[in-house]
């Protein structure tokens, strides 16, 4: 498989009155062309902050403390995103033309003062040499593609004329305006009711297939991940703690955190639409990252004198599955149960 995006040891910190918050603390993951990578984790795990660093869409006070982000452009050229000026021409071209982004709240991407059509046309004309008429035709084509009802009517409407689900479709149309090779989807269905969520997921799956587009799909919903992802990265307190294929993560999770998350879902077959339930122990606090393995205060399998002292590295399995735990693969869960 051809690599599209590669993050290595990415660190993003935020200075605050109470000290430095290491929101992202050495994250590595990759996405191949045409592949869906699900990123799962509780809020505060750094999922969104990491994704925004790919687009260089970060708050001004963000400190890009470490790491490299490589992206293979449509032209075949490899770009080091972390070396680009966030407001520069390369990043403007990358956003929209190479990488699209959709959010939980559509109005993050849509302007309230322009029609849906105008917004899509602007994006198309920014990246392509096309006439206004062609850009409008493209806007209607895109609205049709995202299964917007009455696209020739909706193209002249403002976002406030649209229902929540329709706004979501408009935002997707806008993100896909220039056929991006990568779509970053940050909890795009979290705020929707279960029926609309299922429709939008179906739509994204179909578009992903038709356009052979890669997706980084951020969610805290394991059911959604099972539905859409090829591979999964599980994040905890600014780190990726486990990566593997969907089957590996669901049927052979190697990290105690992943195991605990899966145990909090009543039954896999019925997991669709369910949110991650909070697992036992303190909610992770990025201001106060525990020593050693940062999961140790909540880990049922923690070993005193090791887990609270030593930071684990990835254990890499033959299949490529990785788990950041001192005891990964040693089946300590079975031992603990005895």
312 binds ligand SF4 (CB under 6 A): yes
Window 63-92: contact mask with ligand SF4 (x via CB under 6 A): ------------------------------
Q: Shortest distance, CB of residue 37 to Mg ion, whole angstroms? A: 16
Q: Shortest distance, CB of residue 52 to Mg ion, whole angstroms? A: 9
Select the residue interacting with Mg ion from 10, 29, 44, 48 (CB under 5 A). Answer: 48
Q: How far apart are CA 65 and CA 183, in angstroms?
A: 25
302 binds ligand SF4 (CB under 6 A): yes
Nearer to Mg ion, 48 or 53 (CB): 48
Q: How far apart are CA 147 and CA 207, in angstroms?
A: 11
What number of other Cβ atoms are within 10 A of residue 270's Cβ?
10
295 binds ligand SF4 (CB under 6 A): yes
Q: How far apart are CA 121 and CA 139, in angstroms?
A: 6
Nearer to Mg ion, 48 or 168 (CB): 48
Q: How far apart are CA 163 and CA 38, in angstroms?
A: 27
Stretch that binds Mg ion, among 40-48, 86-94, 138-146, 327-335 (CB under 5 A): 40-48
299 binds ligand SF4 (CB under 6 A): yes
Q: Shortest distance, CB of residue 64 to Mg ion, whole angstroms? A: 19
53 binds Mg ion (CB under 5 A): no
Nearer to Mg ion, 51 or 262 (CB): 51
Token pair of 76 as six digits: 């075949």
219 binds Mg ion (CB under 5 A): no
Taking CA atoms, 252 is separated from 183, 249, 332, in Å, by: 28, 6, 14
* Interface positions, 200-259, toward ligand SF4 (CB under 6 A): 256
The H or E element that residue 165 is part of is helix 164-175
Q: Shortest distance, CB of residue 301 to ligand SF4, whole angstroms? A: 4
Taking CA atoms, 302 is separated from 130, 216, 299, 309, 315, in Å, by: 60, 31, 5, 11, 16
Using CB distances below 5 to 8 A depending on partner kind, what does residue 256 bind out of ligand SF4, Mg ion, none? ligand SF4
Q: How far apart are CA 301 and CA 264, in angstroms?
A: 16
Q: Shortest distance, CB of residue 24 to Mg ion, whole angstroms? A: 12
Find, among 222, 211, 133, the residue nearest to 175 by Cα.
Answer: 211
């Amino acid at each position: 498989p051809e690599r599209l995006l590669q993050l290595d040891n990415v660190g993003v910190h935020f200075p605050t009155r109470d000290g430095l918050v290491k929101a992202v603390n050495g994250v590595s993951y990759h996405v191949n062309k045409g592949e869906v990578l699900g990123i799962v984790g509780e809020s505060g795990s750094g999922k969104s902050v990491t994704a925004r660093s790919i687009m260089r869409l970060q708050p001004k006070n963000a400190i890009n403390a470490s790491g490299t982000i490589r992206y293979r452009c449509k032209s075949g050229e490899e770009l080091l995103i972390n070396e680009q000026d966030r407001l520069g021409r390369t990043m403007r071209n990358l956003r929209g033309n190479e990488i699209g982004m959709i959010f939980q709240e559509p109005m993050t991407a849509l302007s309230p003062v322009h029609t849906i059509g105008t917004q899509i046309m602007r994006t198309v004309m920014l990246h392509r040499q096309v006439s206004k008429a062609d850009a409008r035709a493209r806007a209607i084509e895109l609205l049709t593609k995202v299964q917007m009802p009455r696209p020739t009517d909706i193209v002249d409407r403002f976002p406030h004329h649209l229902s929540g689900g329709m706004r979501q479709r408009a935002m997707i149309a806008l993100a896909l305006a220039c056929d991006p090779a990568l779509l970053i989807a940050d909890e795009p269905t979290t705020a929707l009711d279960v029926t609309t969520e299922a429709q939008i997921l179906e739509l994204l799956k179909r578009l992903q297939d038709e356009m052979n587009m890669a997706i980084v799909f951020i969610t805290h919903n394991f059911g959604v991940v099972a539905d859409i992802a090829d591979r999964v990265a599980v994040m905890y307190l600014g780190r990726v703690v486990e990566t593997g294929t969907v089957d590996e993560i669901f049927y052979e999770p190697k990290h105690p955190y992943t195991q605990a998350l899966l145990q909090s879902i009543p039954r896999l077959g019925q997991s669709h639409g369910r949110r991650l339930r909070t697992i036992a122990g303190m909610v992770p606090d990025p201001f106060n990252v525990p020593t050693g393995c940062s999961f140790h205060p909540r880990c049922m399998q923690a070993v005193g004198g090791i887990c609270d002292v030593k930071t684990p590295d990835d254990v890499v399995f033959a299949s490529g599955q990785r788990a950041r735990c001192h005891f990964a693969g040693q089946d300590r869960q079975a031992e603990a149960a005895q």
